[in-house]
Every structure is written in structure tokens, then in C-alpha cells.
A and B are shown apart, each in its own frame.
Chain A
Amino acid sequence: MTQANVSSITDPVAITEAGRKENITTFNDKDLVLEARDVSVNYGEKLAIENVSIQIPRNSVIALIGPSGCGKSTLIRCFNRMNDLIPSATVTGEIIYNGTNIYAPGQDATEIRFNIGMVFQRPNPFPKSIYDNVAFGPRINGMNVDLDEVVERSLRRAALWDEVKDRLKDNAFSLSGGQQQRLCIARALAVDPDVVLMDEPASALDPISTQAIEDLISELSSSYTIVIVTHNMQQANRIADYAAVLMAGEERIGRLIEYGPNSQIFDTPRDRRTEAYVTGRIG
């Protein structure tokens, strides 16, 4: 575990006094980087998640957990307007990033996605060289930077540099699945984001690659805020500072039922449904 993890468990300074007592933890405003306020998402007629309000403190790792179909992926896609790409999806409520509602008129979704990057379940490198994958964002963003330097720095941060430094011109598809996923993380980091969203980034990987991704997440959490969807409870336990539990009742509408430090969610959950979920008795 990183120092950030340990200190936030022993001394979660960012949590408000009121937040310590509630099932849904809240933080001091100055510590927030991202916040969902009363967010609901419809896919056509179907309400997928309802009135989700959650605060994401800076430089922390937040795990979104819950049974299949509870709306974790729907929620994480709201954080950088990925739901815009799904024609039937409508989002209500606000997503506040550094004080601004990213869904407000006039907000540029592409720019938002540079600040709030995303890594998907299956590695999705472009059919280009390793170098060009990482350089892609800075290039299309017209960033006035030394590309060689950005590529090296991003690959180093993604813990991939040593494995690929002699083959940067090779096609990204020549890499293993785990390496491809770290390449996708390097690609997300190349545009210098604030927040990295990860939707089950290790679920398609073998245990060694999974370990590499987990180590990387812990490493990155000192400089970035990471929101991660995971089905793996032990993984959430290992890498996250805070865990948010979403659950859909019989009407299959996802709601946030509990959110707090790992010590709350995985040791002494306050909601019986959280207890039942984390101990494997539902879901």
C-alpha cells in the first residue's frame, strides 16, 4: 500500500465531522476534485441510476463496487461524459469537476476527457506503434511539449518503460494483454489528467498483470485521483482508500447505499445490504 492509503486510513483528515457519522461519507469542499450531485441516468425509458450524490477527494483511490447491474459503469461514465457517446442515455443532475458542472451548456466534452481520462476493461490500444499510442493525446490536443519526453515520462509512470524502451516503434498489438493495459494507462497519463477513471481495468488480465496494475494504481494515487470499478472485493480492499457501494433493488434502479473509508465498508459496514454484499451473500 502507498503512504497515501495508510495515512488516509489512520487519519482521514478530509472527511467532515458530519461525514464520519453518515452512511455516505462527505468531505471538506477544499479536498474535492469531483462530485456527483443528484445524478440520474436513463437509457431510453429505463432509469439506470437514481439520485446518486458522491464526493471524490483529491489524490485518493475510490472503488465503485456492487452487484452486476447496479449502475457502477453507468456512474463512472458520467464522470467524464462518456455517456454522451450512448445515444439513448440522458443524464440529469450535476457532475462538478473543480467547481464547474461538466454537463453545463458550453462545456467541451473532449477537453473534459483530457482532464478526466479513462481506462477500460479490455485494453484498447490504437493500431499504431507504442510511441504513437502514447503521443496520440498530446498531438491531437496540440500540446506544445517535447513528445519524446512525454512518452518516456508517461511510460515510466505506467511502469512500462523498461519493458518497451527498446521497441517503441513496434506495433502496440505486439504487447501482452497486461502490457497493453499499462500502455492504455500511459496513454491516459500523457495528457496530464487530474483524474483517471478505470472500469474493471484488471478483470481481463492474469494474476501477475493484475498485480502490476494494482501496484501501479497505488503508485499513481500520490499524483492522481483514481476512480475504479471492480468486482474483486479483495482488490478494492487492497488498492482503494474509499469504497462506494451501489445496489439496485427489485425495480433494478441503481442507488448509492454506502460510501466511506475501506475500514468502514469492509470491516464494519453500516448498511445491512453492504454487509451482505461484501461478505458474498448477495450479488
Chain B
Amino acid sequence: MARAEFDRDLSQLEAEIILMGGLVESAIIGAVEALSHRDLAKSTRVVEQDDRIDRKESEVEAAAIELIRREAPIASDLRRIMATLFVASELERIGDYAEGIAKISLTMGTEPPLKELIDIPRMADIALDMLKKSLEAFVEKDRKVAMTLARSLGPADDEVDVLYDTVQNDLIELMKVSPTNIERATYLLWAAHNLERVADRATNIAERAIYLVSGESVNVGA
């Protein structure tokens, strides 16, 4: 087949995205665990690890620019490279949300937990599953399979939104009970907000996956 080297480089670019996805996933898992268990050492590690995610994004960007310069890609090749850049940027932002949660954890310090966290880890689980599926859709070459995977994110995103509302209501109730709760409840609200954004970013990636296989811009959430 012609352009074997180009095809290899495109696959390599895709592999870098999967690797970056893995780093981001670990960061979210670590950040939420650390928040739930008040593990400050772990939170610090998540903050430190964010540099690695940022570096990976720069590497993907450099590799993509080189491919564009060298191969003058068009049609699905161009869509793939542009989508890769977009996904790398979304993953970098998800990494920032993980870092944000870790920093919230560090800000809360050794204060006792306000309540046992149930819905926030649940939000994280769903958001991570969405992220996983969106990346599977992104690398899936079969149009039908990619579309099905990507579209499955719509209902999951709704679920995350419902949980976020619940968390918000619960925390506001706690604030009403005692002003001493306000600071910690506000921190947790930020954490939940970050996770809600993770789910949104995963949805963006899924939409990009649909664009990749079909050339169509589709709103997964709608």
C-alpha cells in the first residue's frame, strides 16, 4: 500500500492519544480517591503528574504539525490529524480538572470530611467510563461501531448532570444547617463541578469521533 510510513505515523499519533488518555484517567482516579480518603500525599502526586500530561499534549501537537507539513494531508487524513489535536487539547483540560480536584483536596488540608462522599465518586466513575468510550470511538475505524459508542455518551452525560444537581442540592442543604460547613461544602462543589466538566469534555471527544468517521458535526448530548 502506498503511504505506508504515513499510515504508521498516523497510528503512532493515535497511540499517543491513548497513552495520554491513560495518564488523564489515572489522574482523575487518583484525585477523587485522594479527596475521598483525605490522602494529601496522593493529591500532591496528582498535581505533580499534570506536567507529564501537559508535555504529552505538546508532543502530540509537534508530531501532528510535522505530519501536516510533511504529508499535506486531505480528506480523512486531515480530519484524523485535526481531531487528534482537538482530542489532545480536551485531554489536557481533563488533566487540569484532575489537578484542580487535587488542589482542592490540598486546600482542605486535614480538615475532617464534611460527609462520606458517595455521589462525587459515582460522578467520577461515569465520567471516566464516558472518557474510555469516547477514546474507543475515536480510534475505532468501523463507522457503525464508532457511532454507537459515541452516541452512548449522551445518556451517560445526562446521568452525570443529574448527580451534579443532587450533589449541589445536598451541599446547599448542609450549608444552610451550619455556616461552619460553608467552606468545605464550597470546595466539594468545585470538585463536583470539575467532574461534570470532565463528562462534557468526553462528550466533545465523542462528537469529534463521529466527525472523524462521517465528516458530520453531531451533538451527542442533544
Contact = CB atoms under 8 A, between A and B. Distances in A.
Interface of A: 233-234, 237, 266-269, 275, 278-282
A68 to B, nearest CB: 14
A275 B76 contact: yes
Contacts, number: 34
Nearest to A275: B75
Interface of B: 1-3, 6, 71-79, 214-215
A282 B2 CA distance: 7
A267 B74 contact: yes
B72 A279 contact: no
Nearest to A283: B2
Nearest to B80: A279
A108 B142 CA distance: 54
Please provide the 3 A-B residue pairs with the shortest distance between their CB atoms, ordered closest to farther: A268-B215, A266-B74, A279-B77
Given A266-B74, A280-B6, 16 more contacts: A266-B75, A267-B75, A267-B79, A267-B215, A268-B75, A268-B215, A275-B76, A278-B74, A279-B3, A279-B73, A279-B74, A279-B76, A279-B77, A280-B71, A281-B1, A281-B2
Contacts of B77: 279
Contact of A269 (B3, B72, B75): B75
A282 B215 CA distance: 21
A237 B73 CA distance: 12
A142 to B, nearest CB: 47
Nearest to B73: A279
Nearest to A263: B215
Nearest to B71: A280
Contacts of A278: 74-75
B76 A280 contact: no
A281 B75 CA distance: 12
A67 to B, nearest CB: 11
Contacts of A269: 75
B27 to A, nearest CB: 35
A233 B75 CA distance: 11
B110 to A, nearest CB: 56
Contacts of B6: 280
